[in-house]
Each structure stands twice: as C-alpha cells, then as structure tokens.
Chain A
Amino acid sequence: MLPVSDFKYIATKSNLNINKPLTSLGYLPEWQSLGKVKIKLLLTLGAVLFCLFGTQLVFASNLSTGGEKLVSIEKEIQDQETENLKLKTQIAQSSSLSTLFNKAQSWGFEKPQKVISN
C-alpha cells in the first residue's frame, strides 16, 4: 500500500487539479484516501484488541480449569499418601514381634533353653 505522501506527489507531478475527482484516471480522491487509512488503522487496532482479549480469555480459562486440575492432583497425592500409610501399617503389623512369635509357635518352633553367649 502506498503511503499518504505518494498521493500528494503524484498529484503535483502530473499538474493535475487536485480538487478534481480523478476516478477516471485511476486515482482516488483525497477524502477517500484518508478514509481508507482510518479504516485500516481501526482494523489494526481492532485486531490487536481482539488478540489481547482472546489471550486474556485463554489464560482465564486455563486458570479456571486449573482449579480442577489442582484438586485432581491433590486427590492423587492424598490417595498415594493414604496407600503409603496403609502399607506402612501392614508392614508394621506383619513384622511385629507378637505376630512373628505366634507364627513361630504355630509352626512348631521352640525357644532355646540355653543361653547363647559370645
């Protein structure tokens, strides 16, 4: 697209009456040139604002759904910790001396009577 100054240059160079409509020669009148620039500026501004708005929407949407992700991750952590606790308790119960003692007795083991020393 030609800058605004080119329109003035062409008009001066060809000794044309710049106030005369030049549609037949392929040139646009001034007021129409200026209107086109304004439209393009507005369009550009609108596009930028639209992009900003869209970006804000995307971020806000991600943050909103982020809450759900956070809850889901926290639940997973809690489930893992609960499972870990359960397993720790099971290990402690299975390896407790009273459990081992009872198992040994049921399997027929007997306590040694003599003292074993170094």
Chain B
Amino acid sequence: MRRLKLIQVLVILTCLAIIVRLFYWQFLAGIEKRTLQSFAEDEIPAPRGDILASDNFPLATNQEAYLIFATPKNLKDNPRDISRKLAPILITDKPATGSAFGLEGFYNSTVKGKPGKQNSSVDPQGVPIMTGKFSALSPKKGSTLITSIDRTIQFIAELKIKEAVEKYGAKDGTVIISDPKNGHVLAMATYPNYNPAFFGLYDQKLYKNLAVADNYEPGSTFKLVTMSAAMDLNLVTPQTKCDVCTGPRKVGGYEISTWNNKYYPDSTMTEVIEHSDNVGMTFVAGKLGVDKFVNYINKFGFGKKTGIDLEEETTGSIHDKRDWREIDLATGSFGQGLTVTPIQIVQAVQAIANGGQMFPPRLVQSVVDGGKTDSVKPPAAVQIISPQSATQMTEMMVNAVDHGEAQFFKPKGYRIAGKTGTAQIPVAGHYDPNKTIASFVGFAPAQNPKFVMLVRFTEPTASTFGAETAAPTFFAIAKELFNYYGISPSE
C-alpha cells in the first residue's frame, strides 16, 4: 500500500516536472529559433487597376505571369542548350511599357495599388505558423480607369487609317476624334503601331504616340487660327477684300506665293480660306501684327501642353514674340516656321466648333476605387474667341469644304466644316518640295458638331496634297460616324 502511494506521488511529481519544464522552454527560455523554423516577411504585390473603354469593355487588364527558375545541380541537359531555348522568353533589353508611357504612365500612382505585407514564422516547408508572430495586411488593388474611348469609333479609326496609310504610301498616319462639347477623346489611332502585349517584338520607334508627342509644321490648317484671331479682333470680316492677292508677294526679302501659283485679286477672306491662299494670309497677318498674333497663338493653346492625360505629350515650338521677324509673321500665318502637335490642332478647332469655348482634351472620364466611382472633373472651358467669330469661321470652313479642292470627296447632303493642310517638311535648312505633311481638320455636322477630327499623313507618296489624301480619309471616317450616330443628311 505504501509502495502504491509512493508510485502515485512519483507519477504526479513527474508530470508536474514535465509541465514546468515545457512552460520554461516555451515562454521563459527565449531561445533564438534557427534551423527548425524561420521568420518570413513577405510583400504581397497589389494587382494593377484595369483600363476600360466608355462602355466598360476592358482595354488593358491583368493576366497570369509565370516565374521560371531552376536549380543548376538538377539540370540534366547542356546548360548552353537550355539557355538558348529560354533566352527568347526571358531576356529582353526593351523597357516595359506598363508604367512608363501613355495613360498608364500618367495615372501610374492611381492604378498601381498598395502592396500588402505578411509577417509570420514559417516551418521548413514555408507554411506559416500562426502561433508565432503572425500578421497580415491585405494588398489594395489599384483603381480602375474608365476612358472616354468609344470602341466602335476607335475601331473605325484604326481600320481606316491603316487602309489609308497603305493606299497613299505614307510613312505614318494619325487620326484623332474628339467631342467638342467636353474635350473627351473618342478615338486616337496611329499607323504603323505595335501590340502592347508583345512590345518586345517591335521597333522602339513605334512606342511614340504621334498624336501627342510628334512636333510638325501644320501648314494651311493653321490658317484657321490666324483668321479666327483677326476676326475676333474685328480686323477683318468674311467679306473683307484682300488688296495684295494679285500675285506673289515679297516679304522681308523672301517671295511668298500660293501653292498652285493661282491668284485671285480682291478675294474675300472667305475665298482666301476656300483657295488656301498664302498671300491672302500674309494680308491678314499684316493686320494682326506680331504681338496680337502670338497672343492668340498662345490663347489657342500652342507652345504649351494641352494637359491631356497621356505621359509623353510635347509642346511644339513657338518662338518668343521678340524673336519674330517680318518673314516669320508671314510664314507663321499659313503654318510654316512653327511646330505644333496633332492634339493641339484638335484642341484649337474644338474651340471653333464649340462657339469659341475651348475644352482641354481628356481621356479618362472616371476612376473606380473599391466599388466607388468618381468622375474626373476637367478644367473649366475658356472662351478663346467670341461665339460670333466662331460662327463666322464655321461658315468659312463649310464653304472651304463645299468649294475648295477637297469638294469632290465630300459626302453629299452633309454640312461639314473643314480645312486642308499641306506643309513642306524642313530638311537641312530648306524645305523639301517632295516631302509633305498632309492633313485635314474639321467637324460635323457644322451646325451642331458631334465630333472634331484631324487626319494627318507623313510623307504620303501617292500624292503630296492634303486635299487628295487626308481629306478623302476624313470623309470616309465621317461617313461611318454619321451612320454610327444616326445623323441624317441635312441638305
């Protein structure tokens, strides 16, 4: 009996001893954990936000990516053979387009999201041990951008510009279509272009968005700015007659002539625009003077960024007014001797289409963050010219389309306001007569415009003139847009 009790006591004491020792090892010993487990601090990457069209169709979204790795000692094949096979997939010296260019570049801080964190002890298999120091912070997905891009219009623009570049043998072509009532870009296309999903397969020169990053001399499309300025200041009216339009004109030691060497004495300002008369424009510029002309150039947004939400926008180049000579005033009046970007031309013509009010162009109309949608408020519109001047310019542009050199390509029954442009390209200090930038800018329907559009070709070879390349392309796209918007002929 005594022995039994002794055994009982011993068992109890042993159990107590084990408990106390376990307690000591678990909570009091504070031994550094080495080989059996380790502490892991992992950053959990956040998924980037999507970019959607105006109808919420995805334009850019995330996709699965793979991490390829190998343990050298486990490789059975020749390492050279393996590296040769893997190199095309793994190695590229091209920079990623993701966060550097365009819309993603501009909104990178919005779409990139916030990475999460997980701190935990892990066992040798990497499984977290939740009794240790375990804490987790979930990653926050980036915001989603809803753009103003209309998928149908974008598709039409891409299809037509590709067809036209191939047809006219141009180096490249650009088309921008926007809504003049709010500045939202409905479509923007350039050809040749590249597939952003496989950017490494293309020449880096194609990464540049010509619509916002290419400086060029606009040529006759800039006459709209010169004439708008003079009419807004009441220096000329649509009926004012040009008294120097009898022949070539000498300005500052240079001779200014028309594009086709045809001259129309006593032509009105309306006819000057209709004939795209360079001599007539020097008459208008002479009325303006450098100060007023440069002021209006700046008012129309040239020489500075439009602020469109794309990363690589450039400003074009307008000389300081102190550097303008007499010849610069003359050539500037018809769009030579200064450089602009295509988006700046669209912005300026938007003002004419919108009763003189200019909205800066924009691509993103709202941002979705965690289920909440916030509209992107654009800057307020600025009155550049009076509504009366805008109306007068519109009628002059309609007249130019109806009776100018592009009249043969115009769709019947529609009032379209537009202007052709054929600008010679400066090469090594002089203008090359065989290389031009051919363009056409306009809006329709003229009385209540649904869209403003610019079509531009660099060095078309089939014809160097805007009236024979850019204008037909403009009208072909316009016909599609009339169909899409259900706009009936009005004439």
Contacts and interface: CB of A to CB of B under 8 A. Distances in A.
Contact of B130 (A66, A95, A115, A118): A66
B64 A86 contact: yes
Contacts of A68: 127
B163 to A, nearest CB: 13
Interface string B389-427: 000000000000000000000000000000000000000
B61 A89 contact: yes
B152 interface: yes
Contacts of B127: 67-68, 71
A39 B128 contact: no
A36 to B, nearest CB: 9
Given A39-B8, A46-B12, A88-B58, A64 B130 contact: yes
Interface in A68-88: 68, 70-71, 82, 85-86, 88
Nearest to B151: A97
Given A42-B9, A117-B488, A67 B16 contact: no
A60 B26 CA distance: 12
Name the residue among B122, B129, B151, B489 with the largest chain A CB count within 10 angstroms.
B129
A interface residue count range (under 10 / 10 to 19 / 20 to 34 / 35 or more): 20 to 34
Nearest to B123: A67
A63 interface: yes
Given A88-B58, A101-B155, A115-B489, A53 B19 contact: yes
B262 to A, nearest CB: 35
Interface string A38-63: 01001100100110010000001001
Nearest to B155: A97
A67 B129 contact: yes
A118 B486 CA distance: 6
Interface string A89-118: 100100101100100000000001001111
A39 B12 CA distance: 10
B5 interface: yes
A95 B177 CA distance: 23
A82 B483 CA distance: 40
A35 interface: yes
Contacts of A101: 155, 159
B206 to A, nearest CB: 18
21 contacts: A39-B9, A42-B12, A49-B19, A63-B129, A63-B131, A64-B129, A67-B128, A71-B128, A82-B64, A86-B64, A88-B61, A89-B58, A92-B61, A97-B151, A97-B152, A112-B483, A115-B479, A115-B483, A115-B489, A116-B486, A117-B487
Given A60-B131, A95-B57, 17 more contacts: A39-B8, A39-B9, A43-B12, A49-B15, A49-B19, A53-B22, A64-B131, A67-B134, A85-B61, A89-B61, A92-B58, A92-B61, A97-B155, A115-B482, A117-B483, A117-B487, A118-B486
